[in-house]
Amino acid sequence: MEQLGKKKILSMTGISKAYPGVVALDSVDFDLYEGEVHSLVGKNGAGKSTLIEILAGSVRANRGKMEIFGKKFDYLTPAESLNLGIGTIHQVDQLIEGMTVAENVFIDNLKTNRAGFYSLKQCIESTKKILDFLDVSINPRRMVATLSPVERKILCIARAFSQEVKILIFDEPTASLDRKVEDKLFNIMKTIKQKGVGIIYISHNLDEIFKLKDRVTILRDGKKISTQNVEEIDEESLIAGMIGTKAKGYEKKSKSFAKGMKLEVKRYSFDDVVRDVSFNLREGEVFGLAGLIGSGRTELLQMMFGACRKKTGQLIYEGKDITPKTPVDAIKNGIGLLTEDKKTDGLMMNMPVYKNISLVDLVKSRDFFLRLNKERNEARQMKENLNIAVPSVRQIVKYLSGGNQQKVVLAKWLLAESKILLLDEPTVGIDVGAKEEIYNLINDLSRAGKIFIIVSSDNQELMAISDRVGIMHRGNMVKILEGEDINEENILKYSL
Amino acid sequence: MNKSTNTKLDSDRGSFASIFKSQIFFLIGIMIIIGVIVSIINPRFLSVRNLFNIVLGVSTTGIVCVGMGTVLITGNFDLTLGPLISILGIVMALMITRYNVILTLITVIALGVAIGAFNGVVATRVRAHSFIVTLALSVVYEGIALLLAGGTYISLGGRFRVFADRLWGVIPTPALVLLAAIIGAFIVYRFTKFGRMFFAVGGNEKAAYLGGVKVRLYKILAFSLAGGMYAIGAIVLISQLGVVYPSTGFGYTLPALAAIAVGGVALYGGKGSALGIFLGALLFGLISNALVLTGVDPFWRDVAAGLLILLAVGISGIVQD
């Protein structure tokens, strides 16, 4: 795979890294040419993060050699890595909200005037230059708190360019972004690429790999499976490489609905956020909620759960008013909420799996004493049923992969016998294999009569799992798609 | 890295390695080391009487640590501990010379629970960190302690010396109260629903709220329990001393906090054990006893004790990492 006329700027050979009990990387080779995008794909735990951490100098490899711009290294320190011109755009940005764009760009290298004092003016001048270089326009005087998600990402890139950058690593930059604005980011990447910077790109979203082109390396269980030109590979073989077997693919099983509506969602509204939203659901129905970020979908779920203020709105289940005022009410009435960010509001990360699974069930019980054996057995049963890959239910949750964590949250609500499940972005940051498992679970559970309302920004996902898809736009439910009408064009048409 | 997918067996037993990494193991280890060194220098260290003296020395601290530790487990701080010991001790002294002992004790404990509940309500209502809120309250309580006592000491008049005694002349009675407190905390933390809820609230308040846990209620409950434990601690302490000064309790807050932290209760909540709290308090008593028995100059004892605690915390951080 010669890149004609281009210089190889990085080559890593035989990189191995073991942690107690796990081999994170097993003799992996990786290289990068100037001005190319080299994507890195693999399931959670395949070793992608470890590889880039070694490049960034935050982790040392046990074995292997690196050659960067012709210089040989056994390992790098973070400072060496930066000095070589290696920058990283982290998945979660580390911006300081109360400062301006310019100050954030030069936070570790504040510009001074001739007298040696810090000068905002100098910072702004220099920031303008960087933003021009990236071919974007953001006012350097704006406060970070006022930026949109994509502008924040761009700011992170600009910050990387406050020093000379020759290799830029992107770690799932689009995970928190709307599909619509992704192109903005990709355009910047093209600009950077043309200036000769080598880009290492990590993402779970395979569409992006095909958009960004050049080369892709597949990692699985710490081993390199292949490096190929993107043009010579298709999505199916990419997935097959990642999960090891040929992708089974998710297939929705057919179901028949009993006549009549089971759950009425009536006239939910709060100011401009959600405006008079009503829809009805049948028993066992999976109702997708599409729309842009900020269209009121998350807020609607939170209101239905009683976790967020509302002006009006009622939930009628089997003719009975069950409108929850608080989460406590919601739980009493068999409603469960799986939030988007498991770390901040879904799981007690430092506690064992079984204590997380039993929480809601325990809250509902009137026992004074815990029944520890019953608790653990039920958790084990859930682990079996949902196929949670963990050696013991005593394992601390933070050590689980994203997909398994999501299953733990789901198990929590299932154990509490929730009938109505509200899911907010259930598969964000989860690898392909685990995604399919979650889809199958949703499918099976809905066939058993559970009602799902699922917010997702992944239209493919909505198309795959929903019986109907409601589309929200600026707080309004603008359209409910059914059957054949559920397709990408329609979803996009009504979302925008 | 995700370790879980590599192993399929449900072994379901705490791994052997995790025992060595636990705070409990570490605390016991460090106490044995100190014990061996001190008993070489001064064999009297290992005498039954001295060992019980160590436990006696940490009885009050240990009892109130259970209270403050419970608040910490919910992810909150309670810095009202010291001044409350004083207030409750003063109320006890004022009442005991006039009224029946049982009535006095019940009143003091009820008052402790009530003040604790008040702390909890304020801490959950004021939109500031409980550290600051209870720090402010503690200043108020210091003032109240001085007002109540009129700036001077109050004697029990020789009454109620139960906790200055030793059972069969050997076991100090406060040690029995400490034992009961630790066992009580163990049962609450491990086997009761409300104990588990303290951990859930501290483990992730938002997740607990969305899981239907009445977060405010359990926080107030933890503060109330703490108030009750401070009352019991005050009763034990003042009975031993036979006299109470307004400032008697003031010095207890920070050592208790340090002992709890050394005992492995996470300052961000959600983590901790009754045994850990006990061992944390015991380590403090052991260190000060060791410094006396090895003949360290009294003026240097605080310096040495502080440094040893820092060392203990430092090593435990490395062990746990």
DSSP B155-215: E-TT---GGG-EETTTEEHHHHHHHHHHHHHHHHHHHBHHHHHHHHHHH-HHHHHHTT--H
CA distances from B227 to A476, B94, B118, B276 (A): 51, 19, 10, 20
- Nearest CB partner across the interface for A367, out of B9, B193, B209: B193
Contact B12 A394 (CB under 8 A): yes
| Torsion angles phi and psi, residue A316, rounded to 5 | -115, 115
pLDDT of residue A157: 86
User: Is B44 domain-assigned?
Assistant: no
Which pLDDT score is estimated for A260? Answer: 78
**pLDDT, average across residues B205-230:** 96
Q: Given a cut of 60, is residue B20 above it in pLDDT?
A: no
User: pLDDT tens, B149-185?
Assistant: 988 899 988 888 888 888 888 889 999 999 999 999 9
Give the integer Cα–Cα distance in Å for B218 and B203.
13
The DSSP element (H or E) to which B305 belongs, if any, is helix B298-320
Pick from A322, A306, A303, A325: nearest CA to A262: A322
Looking at the predicted structure, is the pLDDT value of residue B320 above 70? Answer: no
- Residue B48 placed within a domain: no
| Interchain proximity B210–A372, CB inside 8 Å | no
Between chains, do A391 and B199 touch, taking CB under 8 Å as contact?
no
Name the domain count of chain B.
Answer: 1
Q: Tokens at residue A170, please?
A: 């992107």
> For residue A179, how far is the Cα from the chain centroid?
12
Q: Quick one: how far is CA B155 from the chain centroid?
A: 25
User: Per the structure block, which two tokens stand in for A118?
Assistant: 């810090």
Tell me if A369 and B11 make a contact (CB, 8 A cut-off).
no
Interface of A with B in 124-183 (CB under 8 A): none
Q: How far apart, in Å, are the Cα atoms of B214 and each of A131, A356, B217?
A: 49, 16, 5
Q: In whole angstroms, give the CA distance from residue A350 to residue B203.
A: 7
* Interchain CB distance below 8 Å, A359 and B192: no
Say whether B1 and A24 touch across the interface (CB within 8 A): yes
Residues 6+ apart with CB under 8 A from B118: none
Q: Does A70 reach chain B within 8 Å, measured CB to CB?
A: no
Nearest to B210 among A19, A50, A337 (CB): A337
Q: Give me A178's structure tokens.
A: 């709307």
Min distance A125 CA to chain B CA atoms (Å)? 39
In a domain, B172, yes or no: yes
Residues of chain A contacting residue B8, judged by C-beta atoms under 8 Å apart: 389, 391
Q: Per-residue confidence of chain A (496 residues) as pLDDT tens digits?
A: 445 567 889 999 999 988 766 678 889 999 999 989 999 988 767 888 889 889 988 888 888 999 999 889 988 888 888 888 898 888 777 788 888 888 888 877 777 777 777 778 888 888 888 888 888 888 888 888 888 878 888 888 888 888 888 999 988 887 767 766 778 888 888 888 888 899 999 887 788 888 888 899 998 888 888 898 888 888 888 877 877 754 456 777 777 777 778 999 999 999 888 999 999 999 999 999 998 877 899 999 999 999 988 999 999 999 999 999 999 999 999 999 999 887 788 999 989 999 999 999 999 988 899 999 999 999 999 999 888 888 889 988 988 888 889 899 999 999 999 999 999 999 887 777 788 888 999 999 999 999 999 999 888 889 889 999 999 988 999 999 998 888 888 888 888 7
pLDDT at A233: 85
Which pLDDT score, from 0 to 100, does residue B319 have? 65
Q: What is the pLDDT of residue B312?
A: 73
Cβ(A88)–Cβ(A141) below 8 Å:
no
Map residue B75 onto helix, strand or coil: coil
A51 to chain B: closest CA residue: B1
Domains of chain A (ranges; CATH) run 8-243 (3.40.50.300), 263-495 (3.40.50.300)
**Residue ranges of E strands in A132-214:** 167-171, 198-202
**Chain-centroid distance, C-alpha B267:** 14
Q: What CA–CA distance (Å, rounded) separates A7 from A34?
A: 6
Please give the helix or strand (H or E) that residue A289 lies within, else none: strand A286-291
Residue B184 included in any domain = yes
Tell me whether residues B4 and A391 touch, CB distance under 8 A: yes
- In angstroms, the separation between the Cα of residue B221 and the nearest Cα of chain A is 15
User: Does a structural domain hold residue B108?
Assistant: yes
Distance from CA of B11 to the nearest CA of A (A): 6
Check B196 against A362: CB less than 8 A apart: yes
Identify the three-state secondary structure at position A53: helix
CA distance B66 to B231: 12
Q: Closest Cα of chain A to B226: distance in Å?
A: 20
Which residues neighbour A67 within 8 Å (Cβ) at sequence distance 6 or greater? Answer: A10, A11, A12, A13, A73
**What percentage of chain B carries pLDDT values higher than 70?**
92
Average pLDDT over residues B63-72: 96
Report d(CA B309, CA B303) in Å as an integer.
10
What is the reported pLDDT for A2?
A: 46
Say if CB A340 and CB A298 are below 8 A apart: yes
CB A93 within 8 A of CB A156: yes
Q: Where are the alpha helices (H) located in A195-282, listed in sequence order? A: 206-212, 235-243
Chain B CB contacts of A376 below 8 Å: 12
Number of neighbours of residue A129 by Cβ within 10 angstroms:
11
C-alpha span between A448 and A442 (Å, rounded)? 10
Kindly state the helix (H) or strand (E) to which residue A476 belongs, with its residue range.
Answer: strand A476-482
Its sign, for the CA torsion B121, B126, B131, B134, is: negative
CA nearest to A458, candidates A206, A197, A220, A90: A206
Q: Is B75 a residue whose pLDDT tops 60?
A: yes
pLDDT at B8: 36
- Asked whether A72 and A44 are in contact (CB, 8 A), the reply is no
Whether B93 maps to a domain, the answer reads yes
Alpha helices, DSSP H, located in A228-325: 235-243, 297-305
Q: Are B259 and B277 in contact (CB under 8 A)?
A: yes
First to last CA, chain B: 16
The domain containing residue B211 runs over which residues? 58-291+298-320
Residue A253, both tokens: 């099983």
Cβ of B2 within 8 Å of Cβ of A337? The answer is no
- A50/B212 Cβ within 8 A: no
Q: Are A391 and A347 in contact (CB under 8 A)?
A: no
**Is B129 inside a domain boundary?**
yes
Predicted local distance difference test score (pLDDT) of residue B18: 57
- Alpha carbons A123 and A404: distance in angstroms, whole number: 44
Q: What single DSSP character describes residue A109?
A: S
- B63/chain A closest Cα distance in angstroms: 23
**Which of A46, A32, A432 lies closest to A224 in space, CA to CA?**
A46
**Closest Cα in chain A, distance from residue B9 (Å):** 5
Chain B neighbours among A 325-354 (CB < 8 Å)?
327-328, 330-332, 337, 339, 344-351
- A215 beta partners: A38, A229
Query: How would residue B13 be classed by pLDDT, with cut points 50, 70 and 90?
Result: very low
What is the identity of the amino acid at B131?
A: F
CA distances from B241 to B51, B89, B168, B236, B244 (A): 20, 11, 20, 9, 7
Radius of gyration of chain A (CA): 25
Q: Which of B4, B265, B321 to substitute to test the interface with A, most A CBs within 10 Å?
A: B4
Q: Return residues 361-400 of A near B (CB < 8 Å).
A: 362-365, 367-370, 372, 376, 380, 383, 389-395, 399-400
The domain that holds B109 is classified in CATH as 1.10.3470
pLDDT of the residue at B10: 39
Contacts of B164 (CB under 8 A, 6+ apart): B173, B239, B240, B242
Residue A63, SS3 per DSSP: strand
Task: Report if residue B286 sits inside a domain.
Answer: yes
Instruction: Say how far apart CA A280 and CA A315 lie, in whole Å.
Output: 10
Angstrom distance (rounded) from CA A216 to CA A30? 10
From B15's Cα to the closest Cα of chain A, the distance in A is 10
Return the SS3 of B21.
helix
Is A44 close to B14, i.e. CB distance below 8 A? no
Phi-psi group of A197: left, alpha or beta (phi > 0 → left; psi -120 to 50 → alpha; rest → beta): beta
Q: What residues pair up with A315 in beta bridges, in sequence order? A: A265
